[in-house]
Amino acid sequence: MAEIDIDKMLEQDEKKEKAKKAKSLMMTAAIAGGSLVVVALIAVITVMLVLGESSSSYFPTASGIKYLYNKKGKNPEERTFLPKKENLYGYDCSVLNILDKGTYATRQEYYCVDKEKGYARLAFSDNHGNKQKDVFVIMPYMIKEGRQWNAGMVKDKVVKAVIAGREKMTTPVGETETIRIEYKAAPYMDETVWYAKDVGLVKEQNNLTADEMSLISSGE
């Protein structure tokens, strides 16, 4: 009869027990990890429902991408953010360069982001000349349908802005989700602007003058 190796049997049993415990720990960790993912997902959804969605993707300021717009009855316009930022009034501003494709005159607009106020234009200049202060909050820091704010002033009137809705739009860069913002200060201003996710401005409509601008291409 073969001799029974008790030590070997105990060693095998010990290995099996360790493997069983390891498997149990892995399953526990997986369940815990899954629970954490679910909790995190619920937290994100709750934040979006209560506070809204970050507006950063609707107003990207990365340099190098050129956006070309058609302007009804006017010269096309090319817009691009310049590589270098400028400090204005204590804010690091992204500089949007706007080129008239007919006259080749340029206009610069200086944008900053503030967690309380949102994305705002602080000033503008023509052909890189003297800067003129012109504060206008184009969108809040967090996007939520129905959100309202005071965007700026037109003459003696406060511009009231509201996120009027979300729309799917087909653009030259593909179908994209947009937010529709309305800016009103009767009788001087009544504009509707569409901003697309990961693109920025895609359409602008002046409801008083019937002027209209829309994106026709983008690229480096």
Convert the pLDDT of each residue in 130-156 to its tens digit.
Answer: 999 999 999 999 999 999 999 999 999
Whether the predicted pLDDT of 72 surpasses 80: yes
Within 13 Å and on the Cβ side, how many CA atoms surround 175? Answer: 2
DSSP state, 58?
A: G
Q: How confident is the model at residue 36 (pLDDT cuts 50, 70, 90)?
A: low
User: What span, in angstroms and rounded, lies between the C-alpha atoms of 195 and 63?
Assistant: 18
Nearest to 59 by CA among 99, 116, 119: 119
Whether the predicted pLDDT of 49 surpasses 90: no
What pLDDT, in 10s, does the model give residues 73-130? 999 999 999 999 999 999 999 999 999 999 999 999 999 999 888 999 999 999 999 9
What pLDDT, in 10s, does the model give residues 179-216? 999 999 999 999 999 999 889 999 999 999 999 999 99
What is the value of pTM for the model shown?
A: 0.76
Burial 146-164 (b: 16+ CB within 10 A, else e): ebeeebbebeeeebebbbe
